[in-house]
Structure 1
């Protein structure tokens, strides 16, 4: 479960911005919230929507979390050592262009709250810290800070943090995270933190996921039936799914591909197979007709690709961040996907969904609580700010949020000029 995330000096995000999924003190749409177990006594939101104009920075906010995850997952790998770190600071200010980027996230996993973050440049990790709150009591586990004057790291380990600290410290490269390095060297205490990024947090861009995850789920009958139930609940007329397995041979590659490249790829993929997904519809006589997945509409293909991650997330209580959820989907499909998370019956493990969108038909107090709506705005210096709807104190149940947003009351709208036709 995610409680809050912070980003500073990343792409269009100049100043420190945050997204908080803590429930505010009101009693609207209680089914959209859930209680953290003792000892935290905090209520969190199941979903949150982020609105904003094109180029306002919504995608950069999602990308920031995905970049943080990628660095956690990859920085300690041998193949990544010596490589540049994948960050880009806010470049429209001389002050920030040379400053470090910072990421931080507060989350709960295995019943324990953690606060983990780091700052970095393209070349090295500058700072890294981890605090834990087992049984509700805050503990500092480690702090790593780079002293620029001495050109060396200062380390601070508390007695709460156990293990081969000296070995892990000495094994941590300048462009690697201590967290990732220690877990790679078998730190069991840090593994839940690493696993939250690796297994619980799922982030995707505007193109969503490919269909492989859903296809793999369909390889057993139970998984296939779950996918079919998902698709039928979305009112798609797919009666069944068939998977066709094909061995990878020379016919798999385009005829115009150079033979040398073809042989190299065949060597790497020797013995592997690819799965071809077929959707099955009934014709007017009730007989099965098979279609390639790419013959379906863009919306159907996207829903199919979403089915696996959606089912997996709801079943295991994962956290999804999705950019442009509405893309290629009907507004009713967007509402359907959101309701699966807000509904206690379909979301018994309290999975969470955060997404960006332009779809205003769901900007409705019958769908969202007021604290579930956030906005991204581009400021005069072209930087991104993120702020909640609750800053504007809309009236509970009565204010038309869609109308107010489109009229510009909450900002986060594109400024469109009146263009005159330039004729002869």
Structure 2
């Protein structure tokens, strides 16, 4: 699970920021090490989406820098562009993780030339142990690092523009113990991040949906659809083969056995779930195709399927502008699924951005988001974004109308609307119209 995320010099963020998921208010005999839900609120262009983009950028480099980045061409990054110094300074990204009860800290700094620094520490018995430290192409290893000889050989073939963590993951096919080493555990955490920067279905056709195989995951999807009151009472999934799929098996006189095997594997991968949606009518249930459902229902379905997968398998789900897909009551329902120990036994996490101040309020006197689950972004006069938590304002547990206080600007992170500029713009438009008709 994610304990904190720090980053600097990325898009609208110039200085280092920290999204800290450590609970500010601990309760119980064994308090959880991290909150399960974080909501980030702020005005348009204040940096909400850029915060998620920074984590997405870090994930992309971890998973693919050894393949996508060409040596000698540098790293394509997005530093803060409003000062000339930032264009040359490195961008920093650091995560603190709890993996199987052990804290891990992994981070790197990249500039226009490549990887400037990279490091990984873990804390067995709560004492820091170095796994590796890297400065450009120079490495230092921890004394107790397992598989050290293998790691040294991998470091020799790691490009200056590739992360060592990304490269070492490609060589994780040794003894079983090798995959339990810190590099592979951290890599798997990044692999299990589910990101939705643009609300909607991916892909948009019924044959491409990854319908959950497990019963509990399917129940989560159907429960969210029913809670949405979109008229769907059930989902019927059947296996279908695309019409353009070649007949099977192919003639043996045309295709050799090796090609025969590859085509068979491709054919099996081509099998997709065809989803149809049951609506209750006066004469009974009627099945509808996905294309016949509204755009909002399709967006909800895509989000529900991913949420069910994350809750089932564990991981971190990041959703940008969650209010573009869900009604506030549905968002509250989804938040509740992640907050609940019963529906989220694997401690999956949900990080989302939103403009919807209703999510700062209550439903049936119950808070949708707890005090340490709320964060804000704001942009200063220099165009640099800042990320800060609601806990900075020491909010009271009960009796504080956070929705109203947010809209009144007590927490900042709201747009500075100028009535005068709006009136001037309308007056100028009327003048143009009058001149055009005269």
State the TM bucket, normalised to the shorter chain.
0.7 to 0.9
Residue equivalent to 1:6: 6
Given candidates 163, 181, 191, the residue that maps to 2:184 is: 191
CA distance in 2, matches of 1:105, 1:66: 12
Given candidates 99, 104, 108, the residue that maps to 2:98 is: 108
What whole-Å deviation, never above 9, does each CA across 1:230-262 have from its counterpart, x for those lacking one? 4224444323323462425299xxxxxxxxxxx
Residues 1:118 and 1:208: Cα distance change in structure 2 (over 3 Å) = farther
SS in 2 for 1:49: strand
Q: Which has the higher helix share?
A: 2
Q: How does 1:324-339 map to 2 (within 5 A)?
A: 324-339=321-336
Residues 1:318 and 1:97: Cα distance change in structure 2 (over 3 Å) = same
Residue equivalent to 2:211: 217
Residues 1:240 and 1:350: Cα distance change in structure 2 (over 3 Å) = same
CA distance in 2, matches of 1:64, 1:206: 15
Q: Is the 8 A contact 1:226 1:311 kept in 2?
A: yes
Runs of 4+ with deviation above 6 angstroms: none
Residue equivalent to 2:302: 305
CA distance in 1, matches of 2:128, 2:8: 24
Residue equivalent to 1:231: 225
Please state how far the C-alpha of 1:89 moved relative to its aligned partner.
0.5
Q: How does 1:406-417 map to 2 (within 5 A)?
A: 406-417=407-418
CA distance in 2, matches of 1:214, 1:308: 12
Residues 1:208 and 1:64: Cα distance change in structure 2 (over 3 Å) = farther
Residue equivalent to 2:159: 173
CA distance in 2, matches of 1:332, 1:321: 19
**CA RMSD between the two structures:** 2.7
SS in 1 for 2:104: strand
Q: How does 1:14-413 map to 2 (within 5 A)?
A: 14-25=14-25, 35-36=31-32, 43-77=33-67, 80-82=69-71, 84-146=74-136, 153-163=137-147, 164-186=150-172, 188=179, 189=181, 190-199=183-192, 201-208=193-200, 210=202, 215-218=209-212, 224-242=218-236, 243=238, 245-249=240-244, 271=267, 272-273=270-271, 275-286=273-284, 288-364=285-361, 366-413=367-414
Please state how far the C-alpha of 1:273 moved relative to its aligned partner.
4.8
Residues 1:49 and 1:223: Cα distance change in structure 2 (over 3 Å) = closer
CA distance in 2, matches of 1:401, 1:307: 28
SS in 1 for 2:324: coil
CA distance in 2, matches of 1:307, 1:160: 43
- TM-score, normalising length from structure 1? 0.84
Please state how far the C-alpha of 1:387 moved relative to its aligned partner.
0.4
Q: Is the 8 A contact 2:7 2:92 kept in 1?
A: yes
Please state how far the C-alpha of 1:97 moved relative to its aligned partner.
1.0
Please state how far the C-alpha of 1:388 moved relative to its aligned partner.
0.7
Please state how far the C-alpha of 1:50 moved relative to its aligned partner.
0.5
Please state how far the C-alpha of 1:9 moved relative to its aligned partner.
0.3
Structure 1: unaligned runs, 5 residues or longer:
37-42, 147-152, 252-266
CA distance in 2, matches of 1:397, 1:213: 48
SS in 2 for 1:44: coil
| Number of corresponding residues | 389
What whole-Å deviation, never above 9, does each CA across 1:136-183 have from its counterpart, x for those lacking one? 22111111113xxxxxx3321111223223211111101111112122
Residue equivalent to 1:255: none
Residues 1:9 and 1:349: Cα distance change in structure 2 (over 3 Å) = same
Structure 1 stretch displaced more, 313-322 or 214-223: 214-223
SS in 2 for 1:344: coil
Q: Is the 8 A contact 1:3 1:22 kept in 2?
A: yes
Q: Is the 8 A contact 1:10 1:101 kept in 2?
A: yes
CA distance in 1, matches of 2:214, 2:352: 30
Structure 2: unaligned runs, 5 residues or longer:
173-177, 247-262, 432-438
Q: Is the 8 A contact 2:377 2:386 kept in 1?
A: yes
Q: Is the 8 A contact 2:207 2:275 kept in 1?
A: no
Please state how far the C-alpha of 1:323 moved relative to its aligned partner.
0.9
